[in-house]
Chains A and B, each alone.
Chain A
Amino acid sequence: MASKYVLVCQNVDCMQRGSGELFQKLKDKLAGSEDIEVKSYICFGGCQSGPNIVLYPQKVWYCGVKQSDVEDIAAHVEGGPEVERLTQGIDPTLKDLIYQVLDAGLF
């Protein structure tokens, strides 16, 4: 049973911006970590800034993620430093709402 989740939005906008491939790459990259699960997510509502990836329970929101960011994100999930360049541009109210929804178990 994983205790850390990498939630990758798989709704229309994010998918058009490559989140399908991001999802697969992260899954492959983190396949060896039993404690970590890469999961698809319905939508975080931050469509204009996608692709969006949220780390839970760390509550770190990465937006505008590119394929070249996969290494750094995977490293962060495995205990490395936060990828600060990907953490800007999401409305704090939206973040708060999504984190509450995640806390309520919706993922």
Chain B
Amino acid sequence: MILFPEGRPTKRQSFEEYRASGGYESAPEKFSPQTILEEVTESGLRGRGGAGFPVGKKWEIARTTPTTPRYVVCNAGEDEPGSFKDRVLLEHHPHLVLEGTILAARAIEADSAYFYINETYADCISRMTEAIAEATAAGYLRSLKVSIHRAPTVYVAGEDSAALEVLEGKAAKPRQKPPYPATAGLFGKPTAVNNVETLANIPLILRNGASWFRRYGTAESPGTMIFCLGDEMNSPGAYEFPFGTPLRQLYDAGGGLKNGKTLKAILPGGPSCAFLTSDQLDTPLDPESCKRAGTTLGCGVMRFYSEDTCMVVETLRIAQFFARESCGQCPACRMETSMLATMLERINEGKGNPALFDQFQKILDFNRGKGFCALINMPGLPITSALRLFRDEFEEHARTGTCRYALPARADV
């Protein structure tokens, strides 16, 4: 596999081991900014943070914006519930991420790079601190200034423009776009904000070539993705698979659900995606196939729900999550997220008038796109898909306030 030789994180790589594997052989004489841009564009690499924007394009925009200085931000804010791929990469391959960041900075001719790391990731912060010291001593950073900043653990803090606000010393609130960070980002300067996994791919693409990278994945989505499986599985953890791998293969790799339970539903891309049902286990894991199946892959957080899960409670938890995590600066988002959660609470408690069912889509349609960031659009897919796929459960709850499933609610969404 591309990032993890064995498809799973196994060994915490040292500086010497990284160099022995071909690391840091990407001097400017070998890879000029233009070469890097061309190779990354040719590889078809898209951002792994959830939005899937073409990396080469983002860098090209930053590089051709005639304002200096420019900046690179390695985004390890990682507040998506259930996601831990950034943590795993930083702990196991800090030099890979660091070299990717150095190359990104060279590509857009930036003179500073920021590591924006979830404040609870103490081990990642110490691994990256050590890696920066080692690479600096060996002269690999050249004139690039690199620093580490702690990201607050609120959901929106991982959004790219909110990350820039935090780096500027302000509260984690998304900015209105445009302008996008690539043209006016940190301190108003062109900034490439890239996810950890995205940057980890860069040294390997340059080392092995775009055509090698394209041997993995699909034509539209080349490469691999790290998927995070939660503790409902027999073997939870991070799994790297090429795009296009059937969902079933990932499910099997995770050893299936604990206690031999039967699969009922899947949330393939974190709390903002649509539910799939167990008969969709053959859906290929790539953005295009997931879109055709009516859902999204997000940043690769997989949730599998067993036969005895109450989908009303699970959907309510997702709605409550967004209501809680809405930063509050956009009135429409605050209204939408709190109203959706309240409506689901009513249905869950058996206080829901049947007419409430028709209001979800109207509230979503009214508020679509009215916020500064994507959060306002996030509760829509999980809620509407759950209402469509598990309607009988919602109706039973609305009628009786209870449910035929005994499983207690999960500790997180």
Name A's B-contacting residues (CB within 8 A): 11-13, 42-48, 93-94, 97, 100-101, 103-106
Contact = CB atoms under 8 A, between A and B. Distances in A.
Interface stretch (B53-61, B163-171, B329-337): B329-337
A46 B352 CA distance: 24
- The size bracket of the interface on B is 20 to 34
Contacts of B353: 104-106
B343 A47 contact: no
B359 A100 contact: yes
21 contacts: A13-B331, A42-B335, A43-B331, A43-B338, A45-B331, A46-B331, A47-B334, A47-B335, A93-B366, A94-B366, A97-B362, A97-B366, A101-B343, A105-B346, A105-B353, A105-B355, A105-B356, A106-B339, A106-B342, A106-B346, A106-B359
B339 A105 contact: no
Nearest to A50: B331
B397 to A, nearest CB: 15
A12 B343 contact: no
A104 B358 contact: yes
A42 B352 contact: no
Nearest to B343: A106
B328 interface: yes
A49 B359 CA distance: 23
Contacts of B331: 13, 43, 45-48
A45 B328 contact: no
A56 to B, nearest CB: 14
A93 B363 CA distance: 11
Contacts of B355: 103-105
A78 B367 CA distance: 34
B363 A101 contact: yes
Contacts, number: 58
Interface in B349-395: 351-353, 355-356, 358-359, 362-363, 366-367
Given A11-B338, A97-B366, A104 B356 contact: yes
A98 to B, nearest CB: 9
A104 B356 CA distance: 5
Nearest to A97: B366
A42 B339 contact: yes
Nearest to B338: A42
Contacts of B366: 45, 93-94, 97
Contact of A106 (B328, B356, B367): B356
A97 B355 CA distance: 13
A97 B328 contact: no
Give the 9 A-B residue pairs with the shortest CB-CB distance, closest first: A47-B331, A105-B353, A45-B335, A104-B355, A43-B335, A104-B356, A42-B338, A104-B353, A104-B359
Contacts of B358: 104
Contacts of B343: 101, 106
A97 B338 contact: no
A43 B367 CA distance: 13
A97 B363 contact: yes
Given A101-B339, A106-B359, 9 more contacts: A12-B334, A13-B331, A42-B338, A42-B339, A45-B336, A47-B334, A48-B331, A104-B355, A105-B346
A106 B363 CA distance: 13
A55 B318 CA distance: 31
B342 A100 contact: no
A104 B343 CA distance: 10
Q: Looking at B328, B356, B359, which has the most chain A CB atoms within 10 Å of its CB?
A: B359
Nearest to A104: B355
A105 B332 CA distance: 21
A48 B366 CA distance: 16
